[in-house]
């Protein structure tokens, strides 16, 4: 591996009280075994902390598997590791868009088959604030259909949702992409640090059976 390789962290930090998605509960972090309590279990000078975290799967930067949307869709334990590690990243820098919806037309000039398509909207600047959930950018239905036809493996976005959360509950991007087996990663950050082409993207969730969504440590290698 080249010494010139750079790794860019694309994940939001999870902490107690973090509001990722407006209306969903924030994580709570509590001690299961404190360092002080552990001293009675181990040799002198040896201590450990064991903590407990309670959170919904939609916390921080997370990945949606088909099971998130469909009861018979593949869950986190069934994800092919090849579809979340070292994917060719096709990054679309869209911060100058005037419309909220990302249309199919922005994807027309590139070969996308087998790639992770990453949508850089710049909306991550509002993460953790009230503004984050309002008037946020999203992928249109036509855009989702185009990416399916193009044969992408994963779609990621640095916004509150890949769908329009102000559409009255309609979720065409989630529905179409996950039905096609295309994974979705939401709440990315630092996409401005990636080139349009040439990076490799990784976002691996734990292997949990019967679970559809979970935080990932997403990053890109340049």
pTM, rounded to two decimals: 0.96
Per the domain annotation, does 174 fall within a domain? yes
Per the domain annotation, does 109 fall within a domain? yes
The phi and psi torsions of 173 (rounded to 5 degrees) equal: -65, -50
Per the domain annotation, does 208 fall within a domain? yes
Q: How many domains does the chain have?
A: 1
**What's the CATH code of the domain at 76?**
3.50.30.50
Beta-carbon-side half-sphere exposure of residue 107 (alpha carbons within 13 Å): 27
What lies within 8 Å, CB to CB, of 138 at 6+ separation is 100, 101, 102, 157, 159, 161, 162, 163, 164, 165, 173
Tokens of 74: 């593949």
Per the domain annotation, does 81 fall within a domain? yes
For residue 139, the enclosing domain spans 57-221
% of residues, the chain, pLDDT over 70? 99
CA 62 to chain centre: 4
Per the domain annotation, does 194 fall within a domain? yes
pLDDT at position 1 over 50: no
Alpha-carbon distance of 35 to 13, in angstroms, equals: 24
**For 179-183, what is the mean pLDDT?**
98
Per the domain annotation, does 14 fall within a domain? no
pLDDT at position 2 over 70: no
Per the domain annotation, does 175 fall within a domain? yes
Per the domain annotation, does 22 fall within a domain? no
């Amino acid at each position: 591996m080249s010494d010139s390789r750079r790794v860019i962290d694309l994940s939001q930090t999870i902490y107690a009280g973090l509001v990722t998605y407006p209306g969903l509960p924030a994580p709570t972090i509590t001690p299961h075994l404190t360092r002080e309590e552990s001293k009675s279990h181990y040799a002198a000078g040896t201590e450990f902390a064991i903590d407990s975290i309670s959170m919904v799967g939609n916390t921080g930067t997370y990945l949606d598997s088909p099971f998130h949307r469909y009861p018979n869709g593949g869950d986190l334990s069934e994800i092919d590791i090849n579809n979340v590690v070292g994917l060719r990243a096709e990054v679309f820098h869209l911060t100058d868009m005037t419309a909220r919806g990302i249309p199919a037309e922005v994807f027309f000039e590139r070969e996308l088959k087998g790639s992770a398509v990453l949508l850089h909207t710049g909306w991550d600047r509002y993460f953790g604030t009230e503004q984050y959930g309002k008037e946020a950018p999203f992928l249109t239905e036509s855009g989702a259909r185009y990416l399916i036809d193009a044969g992408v493996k994963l779609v990621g976005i640095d916004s509150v949702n890949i769908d329009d959360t102000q559409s009255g509950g309609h979720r065409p991007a989630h529905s179409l992409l996950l039905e096609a087996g295309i994974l979705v990663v939401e709440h990315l950050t630092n996409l401005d640090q990636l080139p349009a082409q040439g990076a490799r993207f990784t976002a691996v969730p734990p292997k949990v059976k019967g679970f559809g969504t979970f935080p990932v440590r997403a990053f890109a290698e340049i």
